[in-house]
Structure 1
């Protein structure tokens, strides 16, 4: 496996985006559940 800095940066960016989306969805679901 090549140690390409650009590839590493891209993977980190994707992982960060997925983590952010999961956190937002979890907060939204919690807010929705507590609002009922």
Structure 2
């Protein structure tokens, strides 16, 4: 979870992924694109 006071879009934070600290950036949702294939 991210504290409200640092959750502004564009803020860079450090997260813990299984003991490894990684940089991350707060983005707006949706944060991924679905590939929609049309016929």
TM-score above 0.5, yes or no: no
- Name the TM-score class by shorter chain: under 0.3
Which structure dedicates a bigger proportion of its chain to strand? 2
Q: Larger relative CO (CA 8 A, sep 6+): 1 or 2?
A: 2
Larger Rg: 1
Which is helix-richer, 1 or 2?
1
* TM-score (normalised: structure 1): 0.24
